């Protein structure tokens, strides 16, 4: 069983508008607790013991969060801007920053503004020689990265396809073996000007090292003000 997770939480969260003016969006309150609390709780319930939190924007508040909940979670904080600078940006950077912290072991990666069930986390946290990505069937795949598969193996990732190729989208939850660090340094700047984790995943997929696990329970992207109410109601029902 995988015991470590890298949680990307360095961004500003501009889509949260006024709610994220004075704090990272991961710390916006939902039912009187920061949203990030629920992310870590579900990771812990899935068997994850070490939380490697990659921070940046208003990092001092993330340190306060870690101190407040130190008796509930084993959190290691890494300052993304200190390790990788402020010029490099993108989904690959948190993984690069976590290399020394994972200590050559397999690990999960998750965005700190996404919520998955413990069941789905356990489903992807397989301690074998393969990496895994989590897929979700979506009615509007053109807005996301889309997985092309061959059986259970990932063959490619197509970003925001203009023509339909599949409705199985990338949710951001993944498991990597140390193989990720052999390819991630080969990733250059994308057309969007970012270092994309999906480019590293595609390299591993070409070598037959990535599989797909489908989300069976739930997935929430905590991105807009309306999501606060939506997730609050879900958690109360749950």
What is the average per-residue pLDDT within 39-65? 98
pLDDT for res 64: 98
pLDDT for res 176: 98
Task: Tell me the pTM.
Answer: 0.96
pLDDT for res 65: 98
Q: What is the number of other CB atoms lying within 10 angstroms of the CB of residue 181?
A: 16
Residue 23 to residues 82, 94, 211: CA-CA distances in angstroms? 19, 19, 36
Instruction: With CA atoms as reference, report the closest residue to 177 among 109, 83, 77, 80.
Output: 109
Name every residue whose Cβ is closer than 8 Å to that of residue 229 and which is 6 or more positions away in sequence: none
Question: What is the per-residue pLDDT across 85-135, written as a single tens digit (0 to 9) for each?
Answer: 988 999 999 999 999 999 999 999 999 999 999 999 999 999 999 999 999
Sort residue 198 into left (φ over 0), alpha (ψ -120 to 50) or beta.
alpha
Superfamily per CATH, domain 4-237: Spore Coat Polysaccharide Biosynthesis Protein SpsA; Chain A (3.90.550.10)
Instruction: With CA atoms as reference, report the closest residue to 77 among 86, 90, 68.
Output: 68
Dist. CA 205–CA 158, nearest whole Å: 13
Instruction: With CA atoms as reference, report the closest residue to 92 among 169, 17, 204, 215.
Output: 204
Instruction: With CA atoms as reference, report the closest residue to 1 among 100, 101, 122.
Output: 122
Q: What is the number of other CB atoms lying within 10 angstroms of the CB of residue 112?
A: 27
Specify the 3-state DSSP secondary structure of 95: helix
Question: What is the per-residue pLDDT across 173-208, written as a single tens digit (0 to 9) for each?
Answer: 999 999 999 999 899 999 889 999 999 999 999 999
The secondary structure of residue 185, as a DSSP letter, is G
Greatest distance between any 2 Cα atoms in the chain: 49
Q: Is the pLDDT of residue 137 over 90?
A: yes
Question: What is the per-residue pLDDT across 61-90, written as a single tens digit (0 to 9) for each?
Answer: 999 999 999 999 999 999 999 999 988 999
pLDDT for res 238: 81
Dist. CA 206–CA 204, nearest whole Å: 5
pLDDT for res 13: 87
Dist. CA 76–CA 160, nearest whole Å: 34
Provide the pLDDT confidence category of residue 33 given band limits of 50, 70 and 90: very high
């Amino acid at each position: 069983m995988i015991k470590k997770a890298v949680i990307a939480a360095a961004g500003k969260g501009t889509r949260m508008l006024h709610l994220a003016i004075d704090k990272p969006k991961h710390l916006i309150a939902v039912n009187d607790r920061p949203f990030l609390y629920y992310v870590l709780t579900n990771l812990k319930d899935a068997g994850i013991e070490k939380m490697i939190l990659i921070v940046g924007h208003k990092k001092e508040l993330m340190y306060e969060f870690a101190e407040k909940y130190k008796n509930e979670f084993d959190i290691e904080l890494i300052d993304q801007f200190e390790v990788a600078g402020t010029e490099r940006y993108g989904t690959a950077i948190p993984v690069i920053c976590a290399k020394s912290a994972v200590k050559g072991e397999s690990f999960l990666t998750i965005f700190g503004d996404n919520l998955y069930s413990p069941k789905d986390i356990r489903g992807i946290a397989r301690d074998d020689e393969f990496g895994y990505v989590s897929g979700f069937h979506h009615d509007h795949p053109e807005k996301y990265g889309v997985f092309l598969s061959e059986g259970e193996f990932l063959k490619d990732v197509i970003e925001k396809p203009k023509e339909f190729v599949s409705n199985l989208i990338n949710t951001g939850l993944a498991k990597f073996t140390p193989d990720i660090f052999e390819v991630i340094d080969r990733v250059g700047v994308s057309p969007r000007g970012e270092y994309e984790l999906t480019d590293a995943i595609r390299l591993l997929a070409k070598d037959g090292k990535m599989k797909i696990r489908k989300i069976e329970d739930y997935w929430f992207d905590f991105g807009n003000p309306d999501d606060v109410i939506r997730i609050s109601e879900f958690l109360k029902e749950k």
